[in-house]
Amino acid sequence: MSEYRIIIAGQLEFGSERVFNQVVEQYNHRMENYYKNDILLKAENIFKEEELTLDIPRTVVVGSERHWLNTLNLLERVVSFSMAGSLNLWRLEAGKILDHHILEPKSDRTTVQLFNRGRKLVNQEEKEQEALAMMTKVVGRFARHAQAYERRGYVNFRLNNMDDALYDYNKSLSINPSMPESHYGRGLVYARKEQWEEAAADFDAVTKNSIPHQAIYWMAQVALGDTYMQLKRPADALRVYNMFTKRKQRIGSLDRYNRRINFLLGQLLDKAGRTEDAISAFERALEAAPDDKAPEESQIRYHLGLALQKKGLTAEAISNFEQAAADVPEAHQALEQSRVDA
């Protein structure tokens, strides 16, 4: 029988002691009588009576397909009773995702319906005030709605209401300290406020509460590397950027970072005396798609030329300086000097 690596993470809120007790009783009953204890999570490890929640910090276990299906089916039943929250479940084999499920409340309870309607407004242009009002209504009805605070924080961030965004992310994390989206959002607020140590702590927390198969994991890695640069910690920035460029997970939304991060990595490698690796990074930057936040091709070619020059590859260096000279004065100077030296 094949065994799989299974990852489960998330939190559910039930809103009342009566519902919580009902869910725990059903969970135990079904685990013992329907699934004969072939379940990956024991009730005593995940249900938190004092908070009336199901709380699963990122948990990695090994189990069979039967374990996976039984646990998934049981949690699908549990989530139908919840007021707020979400669960992520992944099944992997040899590092490849076979299944991924996001379980969220979809009942006809008013709070659930309000949140789901409000969430649709969050990313719509010119709907920000309506989205804020909807999320405010949600937390007014249910004060422990971590996702509603996170979504309201995101809208406030987009509107440049940094103090309001920070309040919302703090509220979200006081309810669910493991929520990667709120750590990422708060990290962006701290970065905007130039509170770099606090930003680094939040971006690091994202990677501890997500997995490399999620885009947010790598978005946080990029932000963490940028924060290390602000903190004058180039060795740490190099390490993080290097991890990003060597990631095995192919997530299309991350491609927009490739040119900028490879360029920054190339500069750091060059300063660290790793010239051959720097050349490879600059070449990857040139191969990547253009990006408004990345340097122009001419800047990349200038730095590539400098690295090639250090390796004694004069002809290749001159070629790159020639292509950069029209836009980069330093490249023109380097070109003239290279021709003299040659």
pLDDT per residue as tens digits for the range 307-330: 999 988 888 989 998 999 889 898
* CA distance linking residue 195 with residue 203, whole number of Å: 12
**Does 73 have pLDDT greater than 80?**
yes
Name the band, by pLDDT with cuts 50, 70 and 90, for residue 36: confident
Q: Are 131 and 121 in contact (CB under 8 A)?
A: yes
Q: pLDDT tens, 162-185? A: 999 999 999 999 999 999 999 999
Q: At what angle do helices 180-192 and 196-208 cross, to 10 degrees?
A: 160
Higher local confidence (pLDDT), 226 or 109: 226
- What's the chain's average pLDDT? 94
- Domain extents in the chain: 3-103, 250-342
Across 45-54, b (16+ Cβ under 10 Å) vs e yields ebbeeeebbb
The mean per-residue pLDDT over the stretch 241-260 comes to 94
The mean per-residue pLDDT over the stretch 210-221 comes to 96
**Does 333 have pLDDT greater than 90?**
no
Predicted model pTM: 0.93
Residue 331 has a pLDDT of: 80
Query: Which residues fall within 8 angstroms of residue 340, CB to CB, at 6 or more apart?
Result: none
Higher local confidence (pLDDT), 336 or 166: 166
Q: Please check whether the domain covering 250-342 is classified as CATH 1.25.40.10.
A: yes
Paired tokens of 69: 């299906």
Q: Which residue has the tokens 């950069």?
A: 324
Other Cβ atoms within 10 Å of 169 Cβ, number: 29
**Does 341 have pLDDT greater than 70?**
no
The mean per-residue pLDDT over the stretch 137-146 comes to 96
Q: pLDDT tens, 264-303? A: 999 999 999 999 999 999 999 999 998 899 999 999 999 9
Cα torsion angle, 153, 154, 155, 158, sign: positive
* CA distance linking residue 201 with residue 332, whole number of Å: 42
**Does 342 have pLDDT greater than 70?**
no
Q: Are 60 and 6 in contact (CB under 8 A)?
A: yes
The mean per-residue pLDDT over the stretch 107-120 comes to 93
Strands of the sheet with 47-48, listed across from one edge: 47-48, 53-64, 3-13, 84-93, 96-103
Q: Are 240 and 224 in contact (CB under 8 A)?
A: yes
**Does 125 have pLDDT greater than 90?**
no
Other Cβ atoms within 10 Å of 143 Cβ, number: 11
Q: Are 275 and 307 in contact (CB under 8 A)?
A: yes
* CA distance linking residue 118 with residue 137, whole number of Å: 10
